[in-house]
Structure 1
Amino acid sequence: MASVLTPTEEHGLRGFGLDSRIRGVFYNLSARTLQELSVRVSEEARKRQLIYCRDGLEEVIHIMLRPTGAMPDQIAYCHIVSLVLLNAFKRLPDLYLQDFAVREVVPLMPEEERWLWDIWGPGQRENNPILGRLDATVDFTSPMWKDTLHIIEPNLSSVGGIHIGPSCERLVADVILPVVREAIPNLHLDCSLDLRETFLQEIQDHLEAIGRPGGAICLIDPKYAGDGPLEFPALVEHYREMHGIKIVYADANELYVKNGEVMYEDSPITIAYRGYEVRDLLDMEKEEGLDTRPFKILFRENRIISSIAGDFDHKSSMEILTDPQFTLKYFTADERRYFRRHVLWTRLLRDCRTTDPEGQPIDLLEWVRRNQDILVIKPNRSYGGDRVIIGPSVSEGEWENAIEGALHGELFVVQRLAHITVSEFPAIDPEGRVTIEPFYTVVGFVPTKYGVAVIGRASQNQVVNVARGGGAYAVLIGQYANT
């Protein structure tokens, strides 16, 4: 019988076939085997330091037993899209400085703006280091899977997942994949790009670009906060064991300046990766007396990743990519095609005239009130799934309260509601019973010139985030030996 599918659909169904065969393996495993795998995965997660700290207590991050699969061409396309978007976000400091309309959409606090004027210059434009994670929804099993790829928000500094993502994949490869290979001998599943390695390579590349090859590397975040993923200690250990490289780990308060040099303990720091936003540093300066001179030196001398461009990862930055008044002025036709297809319509929630997702002029507040069922409201600069209001999940009164609240004080955005992919994973309940449960899944793409790392997260809550008790899953790249 002749195929009724288009070539695009036929090719797209390869992803469905790949994932279906992987799922089939787990449907056929005995309850005892799944229970044993669950115990081993949990033990390995602790050994590999897949830990989230919550209120000072360490929790092992839940790792889904079943990996999902994607074809090499699917990952390659996601790499292209995410690089286009990352390069667009890198331009935001210059757009901010030259265009008052951009300043209205992506507003900085006065102190942040002073830092930007003081720090941003030709050196940063020439070599603008950003390690960014673009959170997205995608259904690799759909025959028209490209149409399911939607970027939800950018994370351009303090990126989570550098250790969690690749460690989760390699844990699954070591513990789970032997079971899959036994069932499907001709299927090859490989881990995606090891983000730990590309992260290190990006740092070393930037050291060369600024004329300081081989310099001392420091990872900086709230070291003693007792909250969040414990990634930096694991990264320091990984680089020491795998590469013999000594990387130091510091809290912001542990840096100081001596004879013009940024120091940690008794050693100078050449380059730093930061787990703080500039506004965090400003708050700490005001409330705790933090000496911000080390950071100003690192920013000014282009010795910190991400650059200050990373502080433009407001959710409202996606308005710059979805509003024709900006896209027609600043971006190429090719860039605009990617934006239209893959960036969710987003607006800073305010009383204004703008355009709807179809490009038609609207009164924003009136339109948001009428279209509650296709929209979501969330804080512009918060993270971790904080205070996300999903339109179809709340009453009209709650939606109206969210709109009114957004007009006073803290800034919020309104965004076209993404279709969150649902995948089935084996789950073990507290009594040890095995069930197959549906989970919402999102991915984080971390693009570099070397490729793209894919970080999978899953939750039974529509707001998918490890900080809200979600788990991690492995997205593996698959192909058949006879193709």
Structure 2
Amino acid sequence: MLTPVEEAGLAGQRLAGRIRKALWSLGDARLAELLHQIEDAARAAHLVYLRDDVEETVRVFATPIAALPDQLSYVRTATLLLSNALRRLPELYLGDAEVARVLALPPEEDAWLRACWGPQHREANPVFARHDAVCDFASPGWQRSLQFIEPNLTGVGGLHMIPAAEQLISRVVLPVLHQRDPSLELERAQDIRGLLMQELVDHCQAIGRPPRTICFVEPKYEGAGPDEQGELARYFHDHFQISVCHADPSELSLDGDEVLFRGQVIDLAYRDYGVVDLLEVAAEGVDIEPMRALFRQNRMVSSIGAELDQKACWEVLSDPVFSRHFGPDERRIFQRHLPWTRLVAERRTTLADGSVVELLPHVLAEREHLVMKPNRGYGGTGVAIGAATSAARWAELVDAALADPERWVVQQAVTLPAMDFPVLDDAGAVHVEPFYVVFGFAASAYGLASLGRASQHHVVNLAQRGGMCTLAVGHPPGRLAR
């Protein structure tokens, strides 16, 4: 007998097959034309990544990945539960010495957290998060395949790219698929910008300020990374009829308790800036007191509590020693969907099966089943895949991790779903290539948004020159016969 979860996966499998069939029925010439059209539309939509001040157009894959409403409902529930647990970490960090040991911040960052965190944050802790995960929606085991790889609690990428890519595929590809298969029902997923806007409005209400002026703060003049916040600020201004500004921290000033941008009072700020980045620019002479004021007054999204963003969060959530901090529903989700993750150190620890081992011998012996990552790194930099690393090199990496003041984690390797996408070669011919797919899920009380990324490398990230794939809401072509 099939369970409802398995039935949903098989329905998703059939739906994915129909999408592929409809796309490939176009023939090579029409498909090549469609791929060129997508590339031109991506450039026009300013889907770019900056590398040394040079704009590179991000590749958007033609094949949408379909997920059924029931599947997305489950993912939203799991993601939201995870995000709410992570919101409580600042209180655990400040009140439990063992949690503080695992999530230990450098002294200056720790001082910022302690100075800026207050009673108002306990009442309303705004964190807009996007958690990286894998999920094979076209499999009977799709629910078990959902694994959250790491958290992203602040400055999440994709706020412009996700909806721009979804709009592109909705406009360029979905009508073509429907023309080839009129019974194929696909629609755009939820717009992450709407989720963010509602979170900002809700937080303004929680702190008693009207949302008159919202400021997007990022390193405007750095010339690296996704070029998004300027586009995002323009969208918010045009669609929500509120005053929006786009600032570098150096452009902010203080007037009493108020923070200003070019003389305009800021009610709430959304940041793509960490405290460690602020400390760096402060050393160069930038006045960072306006940013500190926004943190302290709880007028920053994500809050100062998001400075605990690190891969070791998974250890706090899933190690039985900390289970007293979480309820039974949370523990079930953690056990099912968080891969075993531990800080690299000489110590004993608990494995996923409940047994207790010496960590370092286990890490060396289980190399082929593990991944090693910088605890607070991002962009895929420094990630080592045990199965693709020699035993000798792995031992060197373990020694280096032990000696590095920037701590490292090991994590149980997860299976990355692979999907075939049509691509153009240098001669303009169409052929199929497999790509690993990773999602970033952002959930709120108002819905679920996702960022799909695809790469032929095990480290799937736009910073590693991956591409974007879109998630579409699909409706099953029919239930299984009983």
Tell me, in whole angstroms, the C-alpha distance in 1 between the residues paired with 2:16 and 2:478: 17
Match of 2:367 in 1: 372
- Per-residue CA deviations over 1:93-114 (Å, capped at 9, x if unaligned) read 0101111111111111111111
Q: Aligned pair 1:150/2:159, yes or no?
A: no
- Which sections of structure 1, spanning at least 5 residues, go unmatched? none
**Against the structure 1 CA distance between its residues 279 and 20, is the aligned structure 2 distance closer, same or farther, given a 3 Å change threshold?**
same
Q: What's the offset of the Cα at 1:280?
A: 1.1
Contact 1:207 1:215 in 2 (8 A): no
**Against the structure 1 CA distance between its residues 85 and 8, is the aligned structure 2 distance closer, same or farther, given a 3 Å change threshold?**
closer
Match of 2:420 among 400, 419, 424: 424
Contact 1:186 1:482 in 2 (8 A): no
Tell me, in whole angstroms, the C-alpha distance in 2 between the residues paired with 1:11 and 1:159: 30
SS of residue matched to 1:155: coil
Match of 1:347 among 342, 346, 362: 342
Match of 1:433 among 429, 445, 448: 429
Contact 2:213 2:265 in 1 (8 A): yes
Give TM-score scaled by structure 2 length.
0.97
Match of 2:262 among 265, 275, 300: 265
Match of 2:332 in 1: 337
Q: What's the offset of the Cα at 1:214?
A: 2.6
The amino acid of 2:131's aligned partner reads L
SS of residue matched to 1:358: coil
Q: What's the offset of the Cα at 1:241?
A: 2.7
Q: Aligned pair 1:47/2:36, yes or no?
A: no
CA RMSD of aligned residues (A): 1.3
SS of residue matched to 2:387: helix
The amino acid of 2:407's aligned partner reads L
SS of residue matched to 2:199: helix
Q: What's the offset of the Cα at 1:181?
A: 0.3
Q: What's the offset of the Cα at 1:188?
A: 1.6
Which structure 2 residues correspond to residues 226-245 of structure 1 after superposition, within 5 A? 226-245=223-242
Match of 1:356 among 323, 333, 351: 351
Contact 1:26 1:426 in 2 (8 A): no
Q: Aligned pair 1:213/2:210, yes or no?
A: yes
The amino acid of 1:339's aligned partner reads F
Q: Aligned pair 1:319/2:311, yes or no?
A: no
SS of residue matched to 2:136: coil
Which structure 2 residues correspond to residues 52-201 of structure 1 after superposition, within 5 A? 52-201=49-198
- Per-residue CA deviations over 1:337-364 (Å, capped at 9, x if unaligned) read 0000001110011111111121110100
Tell me, in whole angstroms, the C-alpha distance in 2 between the residues paired with 1:128 and 1:314: 18
SS of residue matched to 1:290: coil
Tell me, in whole angstroms, the C-alpha distance in 2 between the residues paired with 1:193 and 1:109: 38
- Per-residue CA deviations over 1:24-74 (Å, capped at 9, x if unaligned) read 112222111111111211111122111111111001110001111000000
Contact 1:217 1:248 in 2 (8 A): yes
Q: What's the offset of the Cα at 1:245?
A: 2.8
Contact 2:15 2:477 in 1 (8 A): no
Q: What's the offset of the Cα at 1:215?
A: 2.6
Tell me, in whole angstroms, the C-alpha distance in 2 between the residues paired with 1:388 and 1:121: 35
- Per-residue CA deviations over 1:177-203 (Å, capped at 9, x if unaligned) read 111101221222111110111111111
Contact 2:178 2:184 in 1 (8 A): yes
Q: Aligned pair 1:412/2:408, yes or no?
A: yes
The amino acid of 2:251's aligned partner reads E
Match of 1:279 in 2: 276
Give the aligned length: 478
Contact 2:135 2:142 in 1 (8 A): yes
Tell me, in whole angstroms, the C-alpha distance in 1 between the residues paired with 2:3 and 2:478: 23
SS of residue matched to 2:59: coil
Tell me, in whole angstroms, the C-alpha distance in 2 between the residues paired with 1:61 and 1:356: 39
**Against the structure 1 CA distance between its residues 6 and 155, is the aligned structure 2 distance closer, same or farther, given a 3 Å change threshold?**
closer
Contact 1:253 1:290 in 2 (8 A): yes
Q: What's the offset of the Cα at 1:6?
A: 4.6
Q: What's the offset of the Cα at 1:242?
A: 2.4
Q: What's the offset of the Cα at 1:281?
A: 0.8
Tell me, in whole angstroms, the C-alpha distance in 2 between the residues paired with 1:166 and 1:189: 16
**Against the structure 1 CA distance between its residues 246 and 48, is the aligned structure 2 distance closer, same or farther, given a 3 Å change threshold?**
farther
Which structure 2 residues correspond to residues 238-253 of structure 1 after superposition, within 5 A? 238-253=235-250
Contact 2:212 2:242 in 1 (8 A): no
- Per-residue CA deviations over 1:424-475 (Å, capped at 9, x if unaligned) read 1000011101011100000000011101101100011110000110000111
Tell me, in whole angstroms, the C-alpha distance in 2 between the residues paired with 1:299 and 1:212: 15
Tell me, in whole angstroms, the C-alpha distance in 2 between the residues paired with 1:131 and 1:259: 28
Tell me, in whole angstroms, the C-alpha distance in 1 between the residues paired with 2:201 and 2:450: 22
Q: What's the offset of the Cα at 1:5?
A: 4.1
Tell me, in whole angstroms, the C-alpha distance in 2 between the residues paired with 1:277 and 1:7: 43
Tell me, in whole angstroms, the C-alpha distance in 1 between the residues paired with 2:268 and 2:242: 14
Tell me, in whole angstroms, the C-alpha distance in 1 between the residues paired with 2:428 and 2:106: 51
SS of residue matched to 2:411: strand
Tell me, in whole angstroms, the C-alpha distance in 2 between the residues paired with 1:40 and 1:180: 15
- Per-residue CA deviations over 1:298-341 (Å, capped at 9, x if unaligned) read 111110000012111110111011210012x1011111000000
Which structure 2 residues correspond to residues 276-315 of structure 1 after superposition, within 5 A? 276-286=273-283, 288-315=284-311
Give TM-score scaled by structure 1 length.
0.97
Q: What's the offset of the Cα at 1:259?
A: 3.1
- Which sections of structure 2, spanning at least 5 residues, go unmatched? none
Match of 1:392 in 2: 387
Q: What's the offset of the Cα at 1:244?
A: 3.1
Tell me, in whole angstroms, the C-alpha distance in 2 between the residues paired with 1:332 and 1:241: 42
Q: Aligned pair 1:11/2:15, yes or no?
A: no
